[in-house]
Amino acid sequence: MTTTSPRARVAAVLAGAAALALLVTGCSSDNGSSSAKKTDASSTKTLAAAKTCADGFDSSTTFGLGTFLPLTGSLASLGPAAVAGAGEALSEINAAGGVNGTDACIISTDSSDASNPTIGQQNINKLLQAKVSAILGAESSSVTENVLPTVSAASTVMFSPANTDDALTGASKWYFRDAAPNSVEGNALGSQILSNGQTKVAILVFNDSYGTNLRDSIQKAVEGGGGSVVYGAKGKGQEFPATETTFGSTVSAALATKPDAIVVDAFDQTNQILPALASAGWNMKNTYFVDGNLNDFTTVAGIPDLTGAQGSVQGANPSDDFKKKLDNWYAKNQAGKKITAYTYGAESYDATIILALAADLAGKSDPASIQANVLTVTGAKADGSGPADGATSCKSYADCLKLIKGGNKNIHYEGQSGVGPLNAGHDPSSGYISIYQYEGKNYSKFITSIKGSGSK
Amino acid sequence: MEHRLARLVRPFAVALAAIGIAAGAVFAGQAAIADTGSGPISATKACVTDATTGCVAGTLRDDNENGIKGVEVTLANAAGESDKATSDADGRWAFKVTTAGPYTAKLDPGTLPKGVKASTTSVNVVVTLGQLRPAVFQLTGHPAGSKNTTQATRSGGRLVWDQFSQGLLLGLLLALASIGLSLIYGTTGLSNFAHAEQVTLGGMMAYTFGIALGLNIIVTTIIAVIVGGVSGYLQDKLIWAPLRRRGLGLTQLMVVTIGLSLALDYVFQFFYGTAVKPVSTEVEHITGPLDLTPTAYWSMLISVIVLVVVGLVLTRTRIGRATRAVSDNRALAAASGIDVDRIIRLVWIASTALAALAGVLYALVNGGIQWSTGVQLLLLMFSAVTLGGIGTAFGALVGSLIIGVVVQMSSLVLSSELKYATALIILIVILVFRPQGILGRRERVG
């Protein structure tokens, strides 16, 4: 994935030329199988990663996905799942014959985080110069907000598997997402806290659009259900700066309000907040996590025992089969490295397949063709005004592709993440939030899955 | 494994619940008490929502946060259909509901244990299928035998004290980190922007040796300080001494330090990534008069001792006197037989070693170190030494304490976002009235 040997590049070009030749001769129904890799036992075998796009590839004939995911920065712990999700999806796409008969390729870049905007901007420019078909990313809402104007101006599709900021609803006609917005998650988490009998809630929130938006919706749910937010409430000015390095004072100020429960609404700062909470004598089982920090802390030194703490995350609980697929793909293609959190893995997988199917439906994989067909493949009407009537459901890329090749233009890709059709604001019309509980330092106990409807 | 287990168990749980409901219905038919479990409502142990099921659930806790067992809660709708749930050992109760709409949850006060009172016994909820609706009953008091598991209560005065102790801690660590900045300025006139990375270097060494290689913390600290000192020696030998010999101006030298600072930041990112690196494996508990952990007390003590020693060395020893002579008039010092280059090199070694020590301690008390930790502290360090009087050892201490305490205590009255701004505004105000800083000139040592 990282290097392309000259031979591989020649092979890719040859494969592309062969596919093109077949297309030209009008062999439309068979070209898929001729360039398809091996057998259809793809579901059990761990697939090799898609190739890196060649310099100057033509995105209208070759589906080139630019990934823009957090490989470094405060969200880096969530990077592997998304990389594996997108990677596995591309591998499956190629195993099923590619997009419009040509193998899909990938350019993977690092989005970093909102505190390091130059890295993200640089990599977005790299992807735009390479003229990719679509960009998968970013995970941080703030990073997306930084780069989206550039991406929109370049008329390229940007599909985020993880942005949850409500402000991104309808942000651009080029922007889509399949993660349930914060309002859905905040509502679910707030309700869960209250149903656990905890009514005085302190929220340790960092000053970032992700943090404060999620805080707002948690607060709404808590107050709406008869509880109160005693620390970190909106307008109190108790958010800590995103670059904060010392948390003793924040923690003792929060504990002074005598909360029943503390929500840690932050990214990587959580690694420093948890020891500070434990030092101050806080009972860790009354701690709540959000999707940005619901991680497996087993290998992190200095983290207290978290047994009993709970947290929320977008998406239905990914099936064990799917998790295993991601594990295997990542181990095979990333030199045996391991995934520690599966958050947004399913969303990344689905986003990649939705983009590829949109290109299949259009017959071309340039950004404008994909943009016009994304809503349709998610089972929505083309203008997003509601679910399309009589859309045929299909569960995998291969199945959906079969429908499209069979002339069905009205499909509904039902993915792994359980999101409903996208709406006019390019948000999922409904989505699942799962609540997990920590056992030791890992969130291994699934509590419940709550379906919520998206905003607007 | 857990998920697989959950998946296996869930159908059984549903089946059991179904049997329970059926049994309940049979029982209701025979018993005189009409516990019908009728219509769309059914009590359950743990409610999981799906497309056709909504949940109404809650947890009853006494004021010691212990669950209350055996309390009866009834959920009813407008049509008069209802079911009754009894709270479990954790105080949990839950209902499954299969029709959306308004419901009322009622708590039977007669079933509450002695000593517990409910201020609300009836809660209205509107159920949406697929969602969880919490119902909160406010309870006061606790039954006999309920242990207090809640936090020690903190009064308003306690909060001020807590923030003050955090300020003291930050101030002392800042002093340790910034003393080197002050010394280098004092002897060479250079504002060293790369000093922040010396602090980060110390923390990163603590991670490398303490966590990655698993060495004892005292050994780790000593190694980190040595690495810091060696980096100072090499820097002076390879960069600063040659530049001094070439007679580069102070402004250009300062720009070199800025460049070095940025370069080192990227080197840290390259080797350590951008995540927070832990330096301690233990979770400590706050003890003693201040709102601090034992490590924090030790850090403050070490900081005070080191600062006093540095102050005494500067004022009482030959090397200290030589250092001051160099800073007052380098040409005169050289003419009177002082090896100026050797003194400057010593100052570099001492400054970077102290910064490394500060980095180790800062990382220890703040739960980790990151490539940007030093950079975040840099402006505070400059403010502290300028405020105290740049070039003086005790000035750095006084300035750091003021900055630390003001930063941490400002959040009592102002927005947390403004805490660093407050310190910098104070700096500007003080300098307007006292340009040399609080201890400037009068006690000029370096």
- Using one digit for the tens of pLDDT, what is the confidence trace for B77-111? 888 888 999 999 888 999 999 888 899 999 998 89
Q: Taking residues B287-314, what's their average pLDDT?
A: 89
Q: Which residue has the higher pLDDT, B150 or B185?
A: B185
Examine the pLDDT at A29 and tell me if it is beyond 50: no
Q: How far apart are CA A273 and CA A252, in angstroms?
A: 11
Q: How far apart are CA A239 and CA A233, in angstroms?
A: 9
**What's the complex ipTM?**
0.78
Q: Does A386 touch chain B (CB under 8 A)?
A: no
Examine the pLDDT at B321 and tell me if it is beyond 60: yes
Contact A278, A249 (CB under 8 A): no
Phi and psi torsions of A61, nearest 5°? -105, -30
Q: Does B87 touch chain A (CB under 8 A)?
A: no
- For A69, the enclosing helix (H) or strand (E) is strand A64-69
Residues whose CB falls within 8 Å of the CB of residue B137, separated by 6 or more in sequence, listed in order = B58, B60, B73, B105, B107, B118, B120, B121, B123
Total residue count of chain B as it appears in this document = 446
End-to-end Cα, chain A, rounded Å: 40
pLDDT classification of B151: cutoffs 50, 70, 90: low
In order, the DSSP letters of A161-228 are SS---GGGTTS-TTEEE-SPPHHHHHHHHHHHHHHTT--EEEEEEBSSHHHHHHHHHHHHHHHHTT-E
Q: How far apart are CA B395 and CA B430, in angstroms?
A: 14
Q: In Å, how far is B132's CA from the nearest CA of chain A? A: 6
Q: How far apart are CA B416 and CA B385, in angstroms?
A: 24
Bridge-based pairing of strands A310-314 and A287-289 is: parallel
Examine the pLDDT at A21 and tell me if it is beyond 70: no
- Nearest by CB to residue B416, choosing from A72, A76, A239, is A239
What integer pLDDT is reported at residue B286 of this predicted model? 83
Locate B357 and state its tokens: 């020590």
Q: How far apart are CA B284 and CA B135, in angstroms?
A: 37
Locate B206 and state its tokens: 């603590």
Locate B367 and state its tokens: 């739960």
Q: Taking residues B147-157, what's their average pLDDT?
A: 57
- Using one digit for the tens of pLDDT, what is the confidence trace for A219-276? 999 998 889 999 999 988 899 988 888 898 899 889 988 899 999 999 889 999 999 9
End-to-end Cα, chain B, rounded Å: 64
Q: Does A240 touch chain B (CB under 8 A)?
A: yes
Q: Taking residues B52-68, what's their average pLDDT?
A: 85
Q: Is the peptide bond before B396 cis (omega within 30 degrees of 0)?
A: no
- Nearest by CB to residue B91, choosing from A197, A279, A317, is A197
Q: Does A274 touch chain B (CB under 8 A)?
A: yes
Q: In Å, how far is B309's CA from the nearest CA of chain A? A: 27
Locate A216 and state its tokens: 């707002």
Which string of b and e fits B44-75 if b means at least 16 CB within 10 Å?
beebbbeeebbbbbbbbbbeebbbbeebbbbb
Q: How far apart are CA B110 and CA B107, in angstroms?
A: 9
Q: Which residue has the higher pLDDT, B110 or B48?
A: B110
Contact B186, B391 (CB under 8 A): yes
Question: In DSSP terms, which residues pair with A175 in a beta bridge?
Answer: A158
Q: Which residue has the higher pLDDT, A385 or B56?
A: B56
What integer pLDDT is reported at residue B442 of this predicted model? 46
What's the DSSP call for residue A385? S
Nearest Cα residue to B164 out of B11, B335, B290: B290
Please list every residue in chain A whose beta carbon sits closer than 8 Å to the beta carbon of residue B153.
Answer: 258
Q: Does A203 touch chain B (CB under 8 A)?
A: no
Handedness of CA A75, A77, A83, A86 (dihedral sign): negative
Locate A301 and state its tokens: 């030194």
Least confident piece of the model among A179-193, A396-410, B353-367: A179-193
Q: How far apart are CA A340 and CA A347, in angstroms?
A: 16
Question: In DSSP terms, which residues pair with B132 in a beta bridge?
Answer: B55
Contact B149, B155 (CB under 8 A): no
Examine the pLDDT at B45 and tell me if it is beyond 50: yes
What integer pLDDT is reported at residue A96 of this predicted model? 94
Q: How far is CA B156 from CA A255, A256, A404, in A?
A: 12, 8, 67
- Using one digit for the tens of pLDDT, what is the confidence trace for B109-149? 889 888 888 888 888 888 887 788 888 888 888 888 777 76
Examine the pLDDT at A41 and tell me if it is beyond 50: no
Q: How far apart are CA B225 and CA B350, in angstroms?
A: 9
Q: Apex CA B77: angle with CA B75 and CA B82, to 5°?
A: 45
- For B79, the enclosing helix (H) or strand (E) is none
- Nearest by CB to residue A272, choosing from B57, B293, B368, is B368
Q: How many CB atoms lie within 10 A of CB A27?
A: 13
Q: Taking residues A328-355, what's their average pLDDT?
A: 89
Mutate to test the interface with B, among A206, A223, A245 (most CBs of B within 10 A): A245
- Using one digit for the tens of pLDDT, what is the confidence trace for B373-395? 999 899 899 999 888 887 777 88
- Using one digit for the tens of pLDDT, what is the confidence trace for A62-72? 999 999 999 98
Coil, strand, or helix at residue A269? coil
Residues whose CB falls within 8 Å of the CB of residue B171, separated by 6 or more in sequence, listed in order = B400, B401, B402, B403, B404, B405
Nearest Cα residue to B279 out of B390, B394, B360: B360
Handedness of CA A270, A187, A72, A323 (dihedral sign): positive
Locate B133 and state its tokens: 């609706």
Question: Would you call B25 exposed, middle or buried from its count of C-beta atoms within 10 A (0-12, 13-18, 19+)?
Answer: middle
Bridge-based pairing of strands A261-265 and A200-205 is: parallel
Chain B neighbours among A 320-359 (CB < 8 Å)?
320, 323
What integer pLDDT is reported at residue B149 of this predicted model? 63
Q: Taking residues A130-157, what's their average pLDDT?
A: 93
Q: How far apart are CA B397 and CA B376, in angstroms?
A: 19
Mean of the per-residue pLDDT values of chain A: 85
Examine the pLDDT at A446 and tell me if it is beyond 90: no
Contact A182, A213 (CB under 8 A): yes
pLDDT classification of B29: cutoffs 50, 70, 90: very low
pLDDT classification of B18: cutoffs 50, 70, 90: very low
Q: Any alpha helices (H) in A307-443, and if so which ranges?
A: 320-333, 345-362, 367-377, 397-405
Cβ distance of A197 and B408 shorter than 8 Å: no
What integer pLDDT is reported at residue A388 of this predicted model? 83
Least confident piece of the model among A96-100, B157-161, B273-277: B157-161
- Using one digit for the tens of pLDDT, what is the confidence trace for A158-184? 999 988 888 888 899 999 998 888 888
Locate A284 and state its tokens: 């860790």
Nearest Cα residue to B41 out of B26, B59, B24, B29: B24
Examine the pLDDT at B35 and tell me if it is beyond 70: no
